[in-house]
Structure 1
Amino acid sequence: MQRVGFSLRVPCSHSVLRMRAIPISKLKCKALQPFSRPCSHVPSVSESPPSTLVQQFTKFCYQRDLPRAMIAMEAMQRCGLWADSVVYSELVKCCLARRAVQQGKLVHKHVFSNGYQPKTFLINVFINMYVKFALLEEAQELFDEMPERNVVSWTTMISAYSNAKLNHKALESLVLMLREGVSPNSFTYSSVLRACNGLSNLKQLHCCIFKAGLESDVFVRSALIDVYSKLGELPNALGIFNEMVSGDLVVWNSVIGAFAQNSDGDEALNLFKRMKRAGFSAEEATLTSVLRACTVLALLELGRQVHVHAVKYGQDLILNNALLDMYCKCGSLEDANSVFTRLEEKDVISWSTMIAGLAQNGFSQEALRLFEQMKVSGVKPNYITLLGVLFACSHAGLLEDGWYFLQNMKQLFGIDPGREHYGCVIDLLGRAGKLDEAARLIQEMEGKPDAVTWRTLLGACRVHRNVDLAAYAANQILKTDPDDAGTYILLSNIYANSQRWEDVTEVRKSMKARGVTKEPGCSWIEVNKQIHAFILGDDSHPQIDEINRQLSLLIDRLMAVGYIPDTNFVLQDLEGEQREVSLLSHSEKLAIVFGLMSLSKGKTVRIRKNLRICGDCHVFAKLVAKMEERTIVIRDPIRWVGIQTVFLALLKVLQERSKLQMAEQIQKHNKSNDEMEKFLVQKDWIPLWSIDLEGMLNGAGRCVLRMPLVLIMCKSTAHSTWFVRP
C-alpha cells in the first residue's frame, strides 16, 4: 500500500474486483500522449516526485488547464497513481467545455487501468460525458457494465434516450429501473415524460408520479402540462395547472406556451393576464408564447405592445423570430422588415420566416430576392425555407423557377422534396392551366398524396372548368376525408356550372346521407382593443342592422361601376336572387363594412377568417379598397391577402376574370378571337384581357391610354365581360 499526497489508492487484481469494467481494448482512443503544444513547464511536471504529482494534477484540474492536466495524468499513469473521483470529474468537465472528445476517452482509459475501481459517482460522470458527446453506444456499454446503478445512472440514460427520440428505450429503462428497486426522482420522471407518444403511457406515468408524491414538483408538473398539450389534451393540461398550490414561473410558461402552440390564443392570453395578476413578471419564454397567441388571433396592436416589453431583451434571437413571425402573419411587413434588418445575428429561422412572410403577403419577387441574399450570407436553407421559395414561385406564376427548385432541391441544398413542396408546384401548374401535368406530378411524387394535395388540384379544376378531372380529384379527397364539406360543395358547384344537374343531385344526396354540414364562415376584426366576430347567418352583433344597411349602400355603389356578385361561390341549390343575397351575408363582407365604419380613414382594415376567402369576396374587397382609398388585409388559412389602393392590382384581378368570360363569349357567338377583338375595337372598346397593364401604366403598351380609364360592364344574357374605354 502506498500513500501519495492526500489520495489513497490500492492497485488490486481483477479477481478481487466486483465491478465488470469495460475492457481497455474496447475503448477507441489513442495511447496516452502529451499535448503536442510546446509548454515550458513540461519537464517540471514529468520530473516531479510521486509525492507531488497528484497534488499538481489536482491543481491543474481545478484550474481547467487541460494540457498540463493531461501531462500530469500521463506521469501518474507511469507511477501507478490515481487521484480522487471529484478531481477526475473536474477534468471531465474541462473536456466537455472544450469538446475534447479524445482527451475525455483518455481520462476514461486512465481511470480504468490497472484494475482501479472507481466509485459509482465517477462512472456516472463518464456516462454523462459520453451522452453529451453524443456517443450513446459508449454510454450504454459503460452503463451495462456497472455493478451498481443508482438513480443518477438511470436518469442519465433515460434522459439520453428521450433526447435521442428513442422513446421505447426510455420507457423500457424506467420499467427496468423499478424492477431493480431504484426509485425514480423528479428528474427521472421529467425526462421520461418527454418520451411519451401515447395517451395510455402518459396516464400510467401520471399515476406513478401521483403515487410517488411528486405531482407537486415544479419540473414534473411542467413536463406533464407540456406532454398533455402536445397530445392535444388541453383540458387535462389546464386541470394540472389549476391544481397548483403555489405558482411558479416555469409552470406558468409551460401552460401559456401549451395553449399558444395549440392555436388556442384566447386561453393563452387569459392565462397571461392571470399570471400578471398573480405578480409574476414576463420573461423571454413568456413573451414568445404571448406573441404566438397574438399571431394565432392576428392581434397586431397587442403584438406591438408585447414588442415594447421585448425591447429590453435586446438581441434574443428566439424572441425576435417570434416578433418577426407575428408581424408577417398579421400583414405588417414594414414592422417585420424593421425587426429583420435590426437583427445582428440571423439564423435560418429568421430568413425563412421573412421569405415566407413576403411570399404569403403577395411580395413574391421580394421573397426570391431575399432568398438570394440568404445564400450569399452563408446561411444554409432548410425545408421551410424552400417551401417559402416555392410558395413565392407559385403565386408569382414563375413556372420554370418552381420546376427548377423542385427538381434540384436535393442536389443544391441536400433536402428531399416533401409533400408540401410538391403541393406548391401542383398549385403553380394549376394556376398556369396545366392540369394534366399537375395530375401527373401527383402520381409521380414521392410519398402518398394527402387530401390537401388533391384539394389543390380540385381548386384548379374549378377555375379551368375541367369537370372530369375535378370528379377524380374529389373522389381521392373523400377517400381520406369522407366528411370534408368543402369538397362536396365545390364539386357540386363545378357540376352545376357545367349544367350537369343529375350529378349535382347525387353529390347533394351523398352529403346529406353522411350528415355532412359546412363549417360556418367566421371573420374577426380588432377595433379599439376589442375583437368583433362575424359569423355567416348570425345577427347577434349589436350593430348588425347598421352594418347591413351600410353594406347594401356599398353594394349599390359598386354595382354602379360594374360589380356583379359571382354566384359560382354559392351553393347551387339556391335561386339566382337568393344566391346574391347569400353572398351579401358572407362574414368577411360584414367585417370589412364594420371596419370601414369603426376605424379612422388612415387605419388599415385587418381581418382574420377561419375558411378560405371566396373569389367574390376577394374581388369585393379589392373594389372597396379602391373606392374607399383604404388598405384591407384579410388573413385566411392559406395566405394573407393584402388589398392595396393600387389600380394595377384591381385591373389584374378583373383581367384574369375577363379571359375566361371572353372565351365563353367567343364560343357562344361562334366567332374567332381576332373577329371578336376587331368588332370591339370598331366600337372603340378594348377588351381588358388584351392590355399590357404594366406597359399601360408606364405610358407604353398595346394601346396608349392618356385619359383616365372608365370601367364598364358589358352584359350579355348569360355572362359578363370587363372592358375599358379611353
Structure 2
Amino acid sequence: MIRFYSTSAKPFHSDHYCKIVSLIDSCKSMQQIKQTHSQLVTTALISHSVSAHKLLKLAAHVSLSYAHKLFDQIPQPDLFIYNTMIKAHSMLPHSCHNSFSVFRSLIRDSGLFPNRYSFVFAFSACGNGLSMQEGQQVRVHAVKVGLENNIFVLNALIGMYGKWRLVEEGWKVFQWAVDRDLYSWNTMIAAYVGSGDMIRAKELFDGMQEKDVVSWSTIIAGYVQVLLDLKVNKIMILVESGHFTSTRLKVGCFMEALDLFNEMLQIGPRPNEYTLVSAFAACSNLVALDQGKWIHAYIGRGEVKMNERLLASIIDMYAKCGEIESASRVFFNYKVKQKVWPWNAMIGGFAMHGKPNEAINVFEQMKVEKVSPNKVTFIALLNACSHGYMVEEGKLYFRLMVSDYAITPEIEHYGCMVDLLSRSGFLKEAEDMISSMPMAPDVAIWGALLNACRIYKDIERGHRIGRTIKDMDPNHIGCHVLLSNIYSTSGRWNEARMLREKNEVSNERKKIPGCSSIELKGTFHQFLVGDRSHPESREIYSFLDEMTIKLKSAGYVPELGELLHDIDDEEDKETALSVHSEKLAIAYGLMNTTYGTPIRIVKNLRICGDCHQATKFISKVYDRVIIVRDRTRYHHFKDGICSCKDYW
C-alpha cells in the first residue's frame, strides 16, 4: 500500500492540536471535513494518531472512499487507525474486499500485531460478503497470533459461519469454546434462526441460564421471520410431512412468537423496539387486534421510545387487522416520520384496503415533507392504483419513478403495472408490457394476466398464456387451477376435467387448500372447505343451512360458474359452494359474537365470486360489518356493499 504525505509540513504545537481537534468535532459536512483534512496535512497533525483517527472515523460515516484516501495519506497509522478502517469497510457488502485488503496490509506491511478487534472486524467483513477462503485465512492468522480462544474472536467466528448459513461449523466453534458468554449464546441462536432451524434455536434458548433482551428478541423475531422467508414449496414439504395446512403451520409459529412475548413480559427483561416490531408483525399476520392494541398502549405508557421502524409496524398492524382508520390516526398523530418506513406502511395500508386516493395523498404529502421515496414506496403506490382502477395515475407514477427519482423499475414494479392493466381490462396492453420488459418475466407476472383472462373470459388468450406458464414451470399448480377455472366458468367442463385429471396424474405437488380463520377471545378457529373437524361442527352446519335460507329470501343467487367441478345436479352445486371455508368462518363468528360486533376473517387465497356475493348479503341480512382479508386485499362488507366495489 503506497502512502502519500507532505515532506514540508511545519512542526505542530499543542495549541494547534487543540484547535484542530475542536475543528474536527465541529465538522458538519463533507466540505468542512476536507478543509480540516488539509489543515492536518499542512500542520503535520496528520501524523498524530489521535487527531488522524478522529478525522478518519468522522469521514468514514460520510464518504468511505474519501476516508480510504485519507487513510492512505497517514504516514504511519497505528493499530487503532487500521482497525477503524477495517471496521468501516466491513459494514458494507460492496466494500468488504477493501476491509480484507486493509487487514492483509496490517498483517504483511505494517509491522504491527493485530489484536482481537482486528479479527472481529475482519470476520465481520468475511461474513458480510467474502468467501470461505478469505474467512479461513483470517482464522489461520488468529491461530498464529494465539487469539483462537479469545472469546471476542470466537463469537465473531460463530457469527461469520452463521451469515454463511454454515450453522454446523458455527456449532462446532461454539462447542469447542473454552469460555462462552451471553453474546456467544445469542450469536449461535441467531445463526440457527437465520438458517430457519427454529427447533434447534428454541432448544438452545431454553438451555440458557441467563437471557437478555437480545436473546428474547432474536427468538421471537425468528418465529415471525422463519415463515415469512420460506418459499411456498418449502411450506408444502412441511405440510405434507406434518399432516397440517400451510395456514395452520403459519398460525402456530406466529402464536409461538406472541406466547414468547407474553412470557418475556412476565419473567424476562423489558422489551425494546426490536422486540415490539416482531410482536406487532405476529399480531398483523394473526389479525390479533386486541393483542396489538394492548402492545400499542404499552408503548403509549412511555415504556419504549418511538422511532420510525416501530411506528411503521404499528401502522402495519392496524392496517392488516382491518382497522385502516386507526392506522391513519396513528400515522398522523406521531411526528417521527423523517424516514421512509412509516410512509410506506401508510401507503401500503391504504392500497390493501382499496383506498387509492388516500394513498396518493400520503405520497404527495411525503413529497412536501421532503422524504425520499424508495422502490417499496412505488410498489405500494402502483398497487393502490391497481386496486382502484386508476390506470392513467399508475402510468404517471411509473414514469415519475424513473424521471424524478432515478429508481430503476424492478420486476415487482412491472408486475404491479401488468396487474393494473390486466385488472382494468387492457389485456393486450398488459401482454405488450410483458413483452417489452428489460428482464425475463416470471410466472407471477404471467399469472396476473392469466387471472385477468379468467375475469374477462378471454379464453383464447388465457389458453396461450397458460401454455407459456407451463413451458416455464410444467408443475405450476396455480396455472392449472386458473385454466380449469377459465374453462369451468365458460361451461367447457370436458376441458376443465381433462386438465384437472392430467394435473392429478402428472403433478406430485398438491394445490394449497383454501383455509379461513377467525380469532375469538384469543383463540384461533380455522376452517377448510367442507371442514367438519371443528368441535362445534354440527351447530355450524345447522346455522349455515338457516343462513342460506335467509340469504336466498333476501335475493341471493349462488354463482354456480365459480364451481370448478363438473356437477350435473344444481342442488349439489349449491351445496359445494355453501361449504367454502370463509362461509364456515363467518357462520361461526355470527354464532359466537354479540350483535354489532365486527367479524374479521383471514383467507389464505383470493375470495371467490360466490363467497364475495354471499358475504355482501350476510352483512345486510345480519346487519354486521364483515372484514375479510384475502391473499390480495381487504374487503369491508357493510349494508350489502363491499369496499372493493366488486373490483378485486
Q: TM-score range by the shorter chain?
A: 0.7 to 0.9
1:347-389 Cα distance to aligned partner (Å, 9 max, x none)? 2111111011001101112112221221222111111111111
Which residue of 1 is the match for residue 561 of structure 2? 568
1:480 CA displacement: 4.8
| SS of equivalent residue, structure 1 residue 345 | coil
| SS of equivalent residue, structure 2 residue 433 | helix
1:625-676 Cα distance to aligned partner (Å, 9 max, x none)? 12222211111222122223365869x53xx89xxxxxxxxxxxxxxxxxxx
Retained in 2: the 8 A contact 1:362–1:642?
no
**Percent identical:** 31
Which residue of 2 is the match for residue 246 of structure 1? 210
| SS of equivalent residue, structure 1 residue 24 | coil
Q: Which sits farther off after the overlay, 251-260 or 592-601? A: 592-601
Which residue of 2 is the match for residue 633 of structure 1? 627
Partners of 2:602 and 2:284 in 1: CA distance: 11
1:324 to 315, 320, 330: 315
AA aligned to 1:155 is V
| SS of equivalent residue, structure 2 residue 347 | helix
Q: Which sits farther off after the overlay, 62-71 or 102-111? A: 62-71
Which residue of 2 is the match for residue 668 of structure 1? none
1:391 CA displacement: 0.9
Which residue of 1 is the match for residue 486 of structure 2? 494
Aligned 1:148-547 pairs, distance under 5 A: 148-163=113-128, 165-166=129-130, 171-177=135-141, 180=144, 183-184=147-148, 185-188=150-153, 190-191=155-156, 201-213=166-178, 216-263=180-227, 264-311=253-300, 312=302, 313-346=304-337, 347-513=339-505, 514-547=507-540
Partners of 1:254 and 1:344 in 2: CA distance: 28
1:217-249 Cα distance to aligned partner (Å, 9 max, x none)? 332332333333333222232233233232222
Which residue of 2 is the match for residue 580 of structure 1? 574
The 1:484–1:77 alpha-carbon spacing in structure 2 relative to 1, beyond 3 Å, is: closer
Retained in 1: the 8 A contact 2:99–2:125?
no
1:85-107 Cα distance to aligned partner (Å, 9 max, x none)? 67865676677789899799668
Partners of 1:539 and 1:158 in 2: CA distance: 55
AA aligned to 1:255 is I
Retained in 2: the 8 A contact 1:355–1:370?
yes
Which residue of 1 is the match for residue 83 of structure 2? 124
Which residue of 1 is the match for residue 239 of structure 2? none
1:595 CA displacement: 1.7
Partners of 2:139 and 2:67 in 1: CA distance: 35
1:474 CA displacement: 2.8
Alignment size in residue pairs = 604
Partners of 2:479 and 2:16 in 1: CA distance: 77
Which is bigger in relative contact order (C-alpha 8 A, separation at least 6)? 2
1:273-306 Cα distance to aligned partner (Å, 9 max, x none)? 3323434322222211111110111111110011
1:255 CA displacement: 0.6
The 1:328–1:459 alpha-carbon spacing in structure 2 relative to 1, beyond 3 Å, is: same
Give the gaps of 5 or more residues in structure 1.
1-21, 35-45, 113-117, 658-726
Partners of 2:196 and 2:63 in 1: CA distance: 39
**TM-score of the two chains, using structure 1 as the length reference:** 0.74
1:121-169 Cα distance to aligned partner (Å, 9 max, x none)? 5543454467689976765554323333333223223324545x44557
Retained in 2: the 8 A contact 1:155–1:187?
yes
| SS of equivalent residue, structure 2 residue 404 | helix
The 1:269–1:106 alpha-carbon spacing in structure 2 relative to 1, beyond 3 Å, is: closer
Q: Which sits farther off after the overlay, 133-142 or 524-533? A: 133-142
Retained in 2: the 8 A contact 1:259–1:268?
yes
Retained in 1: the 8 A contact 2:540–2:587?
yes
Q: Which sits farther off after the overlay, 585-594 or 558-567? A: 558-567
The 1:197–1:151 alpha-carbon spacing in structure 2 relative to 1, beyond 3 Å, is: closer
| SS of equivalent residue, structure 1 residue 608 | strand
Retained in 2: the 8 A contact 1:154–1:173?
no
The 1:178–1:620 alpha-carbon spacing in structure 2 relative to 1, beyond 3 Å, is: same
Retained in 2: the 8 A contact 1:601–1:630?
yes
Retained in 1: the 8 A contact 2:116–2:152?
no
Partners of 2:137 and 2:347 in 1: CA distance: 44
| SS of equivalent residue, structure 1 residue 465 | coil
The 1:193–1:395 alpha-carbon spacing in structure 2 relative to 1, beyond 3 Å, is: farther
| SS of equivalent residue, structure 1 residue 281 | coil
Give the gaps of 5 or more residues in structure 2.
28-34, 228-252
1:9-62 Cα distance to aligned partner (Å, 9 max, x none)? xxxxxxxxxxxxx4333x7xx89989xxxxxxxxxxx8xxx9xx4698489859
Retained in 1: the 8 A contact 2:554–2:617?
no
Aligned 1:61-80 pairs, distance under 5 A: 77=44
| SS of equivalent residue, structure 1 residue 413 | coil
1:524 CA displacement: 1.4
AA aligned to 1:201 is L
- Output the aligned Cα RMSD: 3.7
Partners of 1:438 and 1:108 in 2: CA distance: 54
AA aligned to 1:237 is A
| SS of equivalent residue, structure 1 residue 643 | strand
Q: Which has the larger radius of gyration?
A: 1
Partners of 2:440 and 2:268 in 1: CA distance: 51
